[in-house]
Amino acid sequence: MTDFSEKASDLALRVSGELVGSDCLISGMSTLDKAGAGQLSFLSNAKYQKQLPDTQAEVVLVSAEFVDLVPNSAIVVANPYLAFAKLSQLFDWRGPLVAGIAPTATVDPSAEIDPSAQIAEGAIVGAQVKVAAHAYVGPNVVIGEGVLVGESTRLEANVTLYPGVSIGKRCIIHSGAVIGADGFGFAHDGQGWVKIAQAGGVILGDDVEVGANTTIDRGALSDTLIANGVKLDNQIQIAHNVEIGESTAIAGCTAIAGSTRIGSHCTIAGMSGVTGHLEIADRTHITAMTLVSKSIKESGAYSSGTGVEPHAQWKRNVVRFKQLDELSQRVKNLEKLVKKLAE
């Protein structure tokens, strides 16, 4: 963990906030109910305001309406959650880079490694690879031929980048992620499947984060494209030739089928599925466990599926669901009968 510490007054300046109360040294962060001496916390959801009077946090990030409930010091900001996000980076567990190439790393002579980059133990760096300034290549990372790794990008342990991948600046690729594996492309000859060679690559923009064990397939002919600021959670499947627009965020266990284009500033909640060759409009928000089977042309919130209910009630509703077609036909017949009687 980091040993960073800073005065509350300086933290307030970082987020354009106002310190209310005494100044003190802050060396960590925690939740309202678990924070203690020397720690910073925050209130961003009003339903947790009941925790404020009893919190042991040294300083709390709050909006102006809740400042009088804080027992110790407060930093008043317009958006406490955003301020928390910014300050959390000061307490990140990742330590400073140790520039250089570890003795147990294998680096092809043709690779270009910036002197300020770190190549950790057991990493394999292929031919014609370029690793930019202040980049981190973690233990046992495998980087294929011709890959570009941007400035200040982090590849955590056991990441695999296939040939033909380009990673932008300030990206974070978490452990176990695989970028650039073959897309799922096959043609049927009547008896079996003939593989379609996947000749495209994968391009990630700047400030992209890819979660643990997430997979992004290379394009069949053109590239799979992940734009600037995209955030991908753990265990997501991005198929070949998918394009994801700027600042879109996708939660865990979601799958995006091939050649679908997702707009910018979208959110897709966990365990959702998007079928192939679709267009998703900018600023579309898809709730958890939604199946998207047709293009979405207008921004807004979209859902599918059913919510949780008691098991006995669910079983009854399943039976009713199976009867919907029959019930619909009966209603139509009754409507015809009523109309005939009214004549």
Rg (CA), the chain: 26
Q: Which of 174, 240, 265, 311 is catalytic?
A: 240
Assigned token pair, 94: 């990742």
C-alpha 311, offset from chain centre: 33
- The neighbour count for residue 176, using CB atoms within 10 Å, is 17
Residue with tokens 């307030």: 12
Measured between alpha carbons, how far is 279 from 45 in angstroms, rounded to an integer?
34
Measured between alpha carbons, how far is 170 from 209 in angstroms, rounded to an integer?
9
DSSP 8-state secondary structure symbol assigned to residue 219: P
Contact (CB, 8 A) for 73 and 22: yes
Q: Is 130 exposed, middle or buried (0-12, 13-18, 19+ CB in 10 A)?
A: middle
265 is catalytic: no
SS3 147: coil
Assigned token pair, 3: 């040993």
Helix-, strand-, coil-residue percentages of the chain, each rounded to 5: 20, 30, 55
Measured between alpha carbons, how far is 25 from 192 in angstroms, rounded to an integer?
68
CA angle 127, 132, 133 (to 5 degrees): 140
Which are the contacts of 224, defined by CB distance < 8 A and separation ≥ 6? 183, 200, 201, 202, 203, 216, 217, 218, 238, 239, 240, 241, 242, 243
Residues in the chain, how many?
343
| Whole-number Cα distances in Å, 275 to 47, 114, 248, 291, 292 | 37, 41, 18, 8, 6
Measured between alpha carbons, how far is 258 from 281 in angstroms, rounded to an integer?
17
Q: Report, as residue numbers or ranges, the catalytic residues.
A: 240
